[in-house]
Amino acid sequence: MPSVMKRRRRPGLFLLGVLLWVCSPTGYAADSVTNACRQNPANCALLNGQEAGAAPTVRSGAEIASIAATLRLLSPELKLRIERTLHECAAWADAEVNRRRLGGNTPSRQQCQEVLPTLDPCGQKVTRAMQWGAEKHALATQCVQEQLDPLIPGRFSLEPRYRYDRPTGQLQWLSPAEVRALLQQDCGKELKGTLMPDVVIHSGNPLQAVSIYDFKFPCPPHNNASWTKYTEGHTNKGLNQGQVYVEALKTEAALVTPRRGIEQRIHP
């Protein structure tokens, strides 16, 4: 069982984080490159000999494709262990929030569709499904941080932000500090259109991705999980999140759900 369950949390800070996630979900953007480098400079070394502090934040589509062709650093056994960890964290987070909010019961369709009486910090309506989903994402993220740090230190990022220009194929990674600064400006308006997978496994550089995962917590739980599809007016109209992740980062992407684990895997 994830040991993160045993920790006591400060409710005020946790609820504030949930509200920020609902408004623009980057409140729990923990980057393991930064954490691992702080603990051990040896973890900052990248494949190209650079240190994480000097890693490029922008790459062209051709560069990323070339990197992806040589970056197959996960053995089948390690990949299976990582994906099992993600599933366990999702299942635990789902059960934990259901325990806190519903006495251990699963939410009904009516409960999921209920609109909260107050708006989020950005002035938007929030349903119970959104509130509980935000809380489950937050707990799953904390669990993944704790479980993957000793397993692949410096080799993963949680909720990283990328700017992706489809016409040119250029991809830019935004540092957590940049994201925090942009979130303070007009409720993160400048981040509109950016990509934010939940978990990216990489070489030590967030631009050198090996695999991508998104948590989904269907509400009610028997609903099928699905990637969010971009609609009219969006630059990625006609595609879904997973397809754009794969196109931008040139590696596979998959959903992680509490009940089924890894599903809907998309390959480049």
Helix axes 11-23, 128-148, angle to 10 degrees: 110
Q: Is residue 12 part of a domain?
A: no
Q: Which residues pair with 171 in a beta bridge?
A: 59, 164
Tokens describing residue 247: 């196109």
Q: Residue 147 has what pLDDT?
A: 97
**DSSP states of 166-180:** TTTTEEEEEPHHHHH
Q: Residue 166's domain spans which residues?
A: 28-45+56-266
Q: Is residue 13 part of a domain?
A: no
Write out the H or E segment, with its range, that includes residue 45: none
Using the predicted structure, report yes or no on whether residue 74 has a pLDDT greater than 50: yes
Residue 206 and residue 178: Cα distance in Å, rounded?
15
Using the predicted structure, report yes or no on whether residue 186 has a pLDDT greater than 90: no
Using the predicted structure, report yes or no on whether residue 134 has a pLDDT greater than 90: yes
Q: Is residue 50 part of a domain?
A: no
Q: Residue 28 has what pLDDT?
A: 34
Q: Residue 63 has what pLDDT?
A: 57
Give residue 1's pLDDT band: very low, low, confident or very high (50, 70, 90).
low
Q: Which residues pair with 156 in a beta bridge?
A: 201
Q: Is residue 4 part of a domain?
A: no
Maximum pairwise Cα distance, the chain: 54
Q: How many domains does the chain have?
A: 1
* Residue in the block written with tokens 């990328």: 162
Residue 250 and residue 268: Cα distance in Å, rounded?
6
* Contacts (Cβ under 8 Å, ≥6 apart) of 114: 127, 128
Least confident range from 34-38, 44-48, 92-96, 155-159: namely 44-48
What digits encode the pLDDT tens for the residues 31-70?
A: 444 344 333 333 333 323 333 333 456 656 555 555 444 4
Residue 241 and residue 261: Cα distance in Å, rounded?
18
DSSP letter at 134?
A: H
Q: Is residue 22 part of a domain?
A: no
Using the predicted structure, report yes or no on whether residue 243 has a pLDDT greater than 70: yes
Using the predicted structure, report yes or no on whether residue 82 has a pLDDT greater than 50: yes
Q: Is residue 15 part of a domain?
A: no
Least confident range from 42-51, 100-109, 122-131, 234-243: namely 42-51
Distances, alpha carbon 27 to alpha carbons 5, 125, 151, 176, 229, in Å: 20, 19, 24, 10, 23
